[in-house]
Amino acid sequence: MHELSLCESLLEIIEEQARVHHYRRVRTVWLEVGRFAGVECDALRFSFEIVVCESLANGAKLEIIDIPGCGWCFDCGAEVLLEDCFEICPRCGGTVQITSGKEFRLKELEVE
């Protein structure tokens, strides 16, 4: 399950931040997850609990911020909203370059 390794990397970032900013506990973790990041939110929450249970983020709340998929059309130059990764331009049927929706990023931490 790749959500598990994503959470392990996330915890490394959190622990690094804790060393730099000297905090002892993490209460809430805000995570940006793009529509096309290939992450299953239930699996992510499940993995998060397992990975953080022996860390300073034990019991922390995981807030997932859903980032919609957006793209730019090569043919008509429009910015379009995409439902799936392979969608063609809804305006002209042209080829779309994905500009957002692949994020997996730590946005913010609530700490004490």
Strands across the sheet containing 96-100: 79-82, 69-73, 96-100
Binding mask 92-111 for Zn ion (x = CB under 5 A): x-x-----------------
* Residues 39 to 58 in contact with Zn ion, rule: CB under 5 A: none
* Residues 58 to 77 in contact with Zn ion, rule: CB under 5 A: 73, 75-76
Among residues 56 and 92, whose Cβ is nearest to Zn ion? 92
What Rg, from alpha-carbon coordinates, does the chain have? 17
Contact status, residue 10 vs residue 47, Cβ threshold 8 Å: no
Contact status, residue 104 vs residue 6, Cβ threshold 8 Å: yes
Residue written as token pair 């392990």? 8
Among residues 18 and 73, whose Cβ is nearest to Zn ion? 73
Please report how close the Cβ of residue 89 comes to Zn ion at its closest, in angstroms: 3
**Binding footprint of Zn ion on the chain (CB under 5 A):** 73, 75-76, 89, 91-92, 94
